[in-house]
Structure formats: structure tokens, C-alpha cells
Amino acid sequence: MSQPVHAFAARATDAELDDLRARLAAARLPEAETARDQGVPLADLVEVVHHWRTGYDWRSFEDRLEEIGQFRTTIDGLGIHFLHRRSARADATPLLMTHGWPGSVAEFVDVVAELADPEDADAPAFHVVAPSLPGFGYSDKPATTGWGTEKIAAAWVELMGRLGYPEFTAHGGDWGGNITTVLGGRFPEHVLGIHTTFAEGPPGLTTDGLTATERRWAEETRHFWHHRAAYAKQQATRPQTIGYSLVDSPVGLLAWILDKFAEWSDTEDSPFETISLDRVLDDVTLYWLTRTGASAARIYYESHNSLDPDLRVDVPAAITMYPRDIEKCPRPWARERYRRIVRWNAPEKGGHFPSLEVPGYFVADLRAGLSAVLAADRRSSAVG
């Protein structure tokens, strides 16, 4: 028997918010860094902590989630939380949007309304579904191993079916892009096509024939994984160990996540050049209140380097490589996995969090990509 879908409302207690402020006020901080490349600078962290304690309004974010529409359902024994905004347009297409780490559904709150009910009547409209990954936000925390990207993708197909969307488009970046790739490759009978800011070719491809820009992308990605990805190795091998700090210390959690917003966004000195400070705190506070620092980290344990090397995506794909993202896949490599690339885009601005950094551009690019996907004849030969 199909599990029901329930409306969901989350309201932190005043005591929980008071406890957070008290912990922030009592935080023990280290001395200042001795070099700028050692992580989040002490002076920057002190400023953010002060705003979090004295100026930030969590209730406004709760209201935003309620305005979009929140729900929960149980899939394979696990409670799954998701945002769901149905478009008023009769010609709207279902769109599944999957976040990554250290993100959450907070990545999408500023773009859902415009995607569902665009001001421009000629723009495509979408029924938007944005789930919280298992172990993230208001989804349940898995009590056993097994909730990797393949199982999550299958759960998303089940979720969309329950909502009356047997066929749908899918978008994602980071882990969401990985899951979107699995969706397109494993479930072509349900997935009309995909848009992703993550692309990964099969292993063993050479740089022969790549352009100078594509070679630079490959080198930057290799450098990232060799020199800037200690967080991923930690979470892939010992998530429980770092999890104690992430669940017990709000300042520790903030620093762990803020470091990624700072390093992975298309900015010079601060992520807040393009991303709202309050939106970052929405994301961090969601992790804090749901105590998901450890459970979210476990997606690395479950799925790090797990994308099937033989997986091929034959549904139409639109791929966007933002210039300051941490992984950028050369187009010839991408074509080895994504067999029908109907739109390829390499913008001049933007990083790992485009829906927060350049939301207007992100919406326009997503619309253009999905329009190309929907216009593609599924029986045509590969292009790209």
C-alpha cells in the first residue's frame, strides 16, 4: 500500500533558539590564524557569530518554507521531507531539484516561486519538488548503511510518482548532480531529461584533444581533489568523529560549512559579496536545529567515488559548468557519459552555489536548459 504524503510544519521552540544563542555567547575560540590559507579567518567568524546571535531571524526562514509548502512521506522505512510548489500553469512540467552538501533546501527558496509561476507568461513553468536528502534537514537520519546515491535516486522516483508525476525533469549540483546523473541513467522511462551543474566522465580519459581551457579545468579539478578536499576524505572515512563537533558546537558547525561557502563561491574576499549572510545562516541553522551534522556527512561514507563507471545517460541533458565550481568536466569527457547533450553552457560568473550566488542567471539558465531538454526528440541521434 502506498505511503501517504502529509503536510509538514517545523517550528523550533524558543528554548532551542535560546540555547543556540547561549552556546554562541559562550563559545571558546582559537587564536587568530598565522596565514590566510589556514581556513576561516577569526575576525570574519567573530562577525558572523555576532550576527547569528544578535541579528539573525530564524522565524523568517520557517515562514519562507511554509509559504512554499512542506511535506513528508515515508519511503523504504525512512521519512523524507520535501518542498512542493505546484504551478498555477496548466502547461507546467514537473521538476525535481536535489541539493548537495553543505547545502540544503535553503539553496532553492529564492528561486522556487519564479520557476513555478514566472512573471513572464512566455517562460516555461514547473511543478517544483525539492527533497531534503536522507540525513539532511527534516528528513529522517538513516539508522543503517545503504542510503547511497543509487538508493536515493530510486526513492526520488517513488516520491515523484506519489505526487502524480510519473515523468519529470531533474536538476542538481554537487551530490544533487550526482543523483540527477543516476536518475537519468537508471530511470529513463521516468526522467524526461536532466539539467546539472555536475558532470563526471568515465574514469581513464586522457587530455589528448582537449582545448587549453578544458585542460585547465581538468588540472583545477585534479588540484582540488589532491589539495583542497580533506573535508571529503574525513567525511568519507570518519564521519562520526567529525560529527560530534558538528552536532555539539554551533561555532564548529558554522566554521566547517562557512569554509566551503567562502572557498567555493565566485568571490574574492568573502562569500557575502554575492550570497546573503542570512541565507548562509538559514542553511547552517537548519543543520544545527535538526542535529544533522553527522548524518549529513555520512553521504560521503555511503557514496564517495561511487558513481558507476559504466553508467551512461541517454536522456537529453543540459550541462552548465560555472567557472568557480570545484569540479569542471571537459565537454569531450562529459560526452562519454551523457550521450545526448542538447545544451552546454559555461557562464562567465558563478561558483558552486549558483542559485544563491547568481539566482537570476541560475533561473534563466535552468529554464533554457530544460526547454532544450523538453524540445529534444527522444528518438533522435546524439548531439553535443
Q: Quote the cell numbers at residue 174.
A: 554537487
CB 254, CB 277: distance < 8 Å: no
Averaged pLDDT, groups of 10, the chain, 384 residues long? 87 98 98 96 98 98 98 98 98 98 98 97 98 98 98 98 98 98 98 97 94 97 96 98 98 98 96 97 98 98 95 98 97 98 98 98 98 78 44
Predicted pLDDT of residue 110: 97
Predicted pLDDT of residue 2: 66
- Tens-place pLDDT, residues 241-266: 999 999 999 999 999 999 999 999 99
Cα Rg of the chain (Å, integer): 20
CB 304, CB 170: distance < 8 Å: no
CB 172, CB 99: distance < 8 Å: yes
User: How far is residue 346 from each of residues 299, 321, 329, 351, measured CA to CA in Å?
Assistant: 28, 5, 11, 11
Predicted pLDDT of residue 272: 97
Strands 70-75 and 5-7: antiparallel
Cα 131 from Cα 83, distance rounded (Å): 6
Predicted pLDDT of residue 384: 47
Long-range Cβ contacts of 113-122 (<8 Å, 24+ apart): 113/68, 113/85, 114/363, 115/85, 115/363, 115/366, 115/367, 116/85, 116/86, 116/87, 116/88, 116/92, 117/87, 117/88, 117/89, 118/367
Three-state DSSP class for residue 101: coil
Long-range Cβ contacts of 11-16 (<8 Å, 24+ apart): 11/62, 12/58, 12/62, 12/289, 16/289
Predicted pLDDT of residue 26: 98
pTM, whole model, 2 decimals? Answer: 0.96
Cα 77 from Cα 131, distance rounded (Å): 16
Cα 69 from Cα 36, distance rounded (Å): 42
Cα 246 from Cα 27, distance rounded (Å): 14
CB 147, CB 135: distance < 8 Å: yes
Closest CA to 61 of 245, 252, 276, 271: 276
Say which residue the cell 538559514 belongs to: 282
- CA dihedral sign, ordered 90, 93, 94, 96: negative
Cα 126 from Cα 367, distance rounded (Å): 9
CB 274, CB 266: distance < 8 Å: yes
Sketch out the chain's domains with CATH numbers: 5-25+37-375 (3.40.50.1820)
Predicted pLDDT of residue 379: 38
Per-position DSSP letters for 344-368, written without gaps between them = EE--SS--S-HHHHSHHHHHHHHHH
CB 142, CB 78: distance < 8 Å: yes
